[in-house]
Amino acid sequence: MVEGALLNQILSFGPVFLLIAARAMGILQTAPLLSSEAVHPAARFALAGLAAFAVMPTAEVFMAANSPGGLVTLPGGTLSDLRFEVFSLRFALLVIGEVIIGIIIGFYITIIFAAFSTAGQFFSLQMGFGASETFDPVAQVENPLMGQYFNLVSMLIFVTIGGFHQLFLGGFWRSVQTINIISLVDGRENVVMMMASGLSKLFLDAIVIAMPILGTLFLTSLTTGLISKASPQINILSEGFPISIMTAFLLLFASLPFMIEAFTRVIDAGFTSIQTLYTQIGRQITGGS
């Protein structure tokens, strides 16, 4: 009986449910870890449907007051009953727009995590692992070993600090409460500014994270170069790589607690930027926080 009641509720709000599920699917297809090939597509579809059903009662940007049929606000303040437009071109465009919103949210989160992998790539060459690129199953790209290590650490931190909780509550649920494709088009300048600032912060965060190790390895290379000039009989080439690798590993071991704190701040700042975008282009949330 419970399954029948849930199915009837989904069918009564079918168009709205489909729009929200399309947005959730866009996020799941681009968000880190969830977009991995290790996650079965059926699991992503099921999770998108569950998330859409959970947040559907609060989707005020899609439904008008006292109208259970599913109404979407259009420009000019008019309302269109989606029950009679499910197979129309306008509804298909709305579905595509919801997928685009989900892709934007998931892609921005991916940009946040790209900073950690980029930080590892910055000093892999100086460390002596420049030719050690292998396929990273988490990032789905060719990545040096240090990039994979930082990516794995960032994913563990993401899970530890409740990242999925923030993704589905602060990222997905708040977006359903505040914005739709019309508000996204109206606030496209804010969206472009957020994506541009995210790309610039990607390199800034990567440099800040990698600078202690990168600077120390530069000093190590400079020192070994001076030694080779002072004592040419020493085969510094064969000794330089083990020294650089050992120095980098010692620095990683010593600075890992500080890096974890930096990773946490970067992830929190990313979700804060997303919610700031919602307040800039979306509607005011009513009914409490």
The answer to which of 27-31, 68-72, 90-94, 230-234 has the lowest mean pLDDT is 68-72
The answer to which of 83-87, 115-119, 191-195, 213-217 has the lowest mean pLDDT is 83-87
Specify the pLDDT at position 157: 84
CA-wise closest residue to 221 among 207, 206, 237, 235: 237
Given a cut of 60, is residue 237 above it in pLDDT?
yes
State the pTM of this model: 0.78
